[in-house]
Structure 1
């Protein structure tokens, strides 16, 4: 296949938005996942996504036979899951053991620590003349997991509790036409006079 003439093709391609996802699938009692970066929405009505996967991964027959796959969006700084799902697992290895995992409505594994997830029905599979193959999925389910930082920023301001008795002192000062600061000044002056008399 002839390469484009543009000398800066890598720099141009690097500007295409990408993310960090774990592509998952399950068939019978076998499940697995793999790290993918090239995921894009390709339709709105109906909602569809396209995923590029490097050839030769054991997830391929699971997607083919189950006709469903999941996509779990990861934090870019989540090195644990990145190391867990990059590369090809050993034969029969269950990568989800010891990880928080639920199951989507159509059987795909979902990582509970993912920022968001989708579950898709396979509609097309393209075996391209290159080192990647492409899956097109119809989005059937999905959910956003609210990040803790986002939850804190959207929560109301915390109430500030005054020390016990402070509210009563303030109320009495206002009732007498004086502020709490004025009362404190009178108390300090009274203590000073007492020290002078004792001297």
Structure 2
């Protein structure tokens, strides 16, 4: 094994050890509701309160966020496997069997631990995934008894 390949393997293992949550990112494009399971979410500022989310430009939700300038982040727990299944792949019917509420601020998955509604303040497109930074303009702590899910990957080079 070459040193370069070994180094990439070690780098992937190290990056995969960065803990993250599991989230459903939601947005609207006109009347169409779009959701995506994601794990690359992080707090990005205190004042104003901001979060970041990384999304590949090929994802259905990407254009909706660009056009609307808004997205919501629904925080999942280990109890939310049904939500993970519903949003693991895009489908125009993905919201049909999922309890949700559409508000002026965004789309809330009723079973989520919490939700943050965000207004895009910045977009950075330096890698194959583009980073949206959103100011949190509204939020709700929905299911107090549930703890957020923590996710680790085997490698930082794949989901």
- TM-score normalised over the length of structure 2: 0.80
RMSD between aligned residues: 2.2
Which structure has the bigger radius of gyration? 1
Unaligned runs of 5+ in 2: 148-159
Give 1:117's aligned residue: 115
Structure number with higher relative contact order (C-alpha < 8 Å, ≥ 6 residues apart): 2
| Structure with more helix by fraction | 1
Tell me if structure 2 keeps the 8 A contact 1:104–1:119: no
Tell me if structure 2 keeps the 8 A contact 1:72–1:115: yes
Query: Equivalences for 1:113-152 in 2 at 5 Å?
Result: 113-130=111-128, 132-148=129-145
What is the SS of the residue equivalent to 2:137? Answer: strand
- TM-score normalised over the length of structure 1: 0.65
Unaligned runs of 5+ in 1: 151-199
What is the SS of the residue equivalent to 1:8? Answer: helix
Q: 1:8 to 1:32 in 2, by over 3 A?
A: same
Q: 1:82 to 1:146 in 2, by over 3 A?
A: closer
Q: Is the aligned partner of 1:28 residue 2:25? A: no
What is the SS of the residue equivalent to 1:52? Answer: strand
Give 1:40's aligned residue: 42
| Structure with more strand by fraction | 2
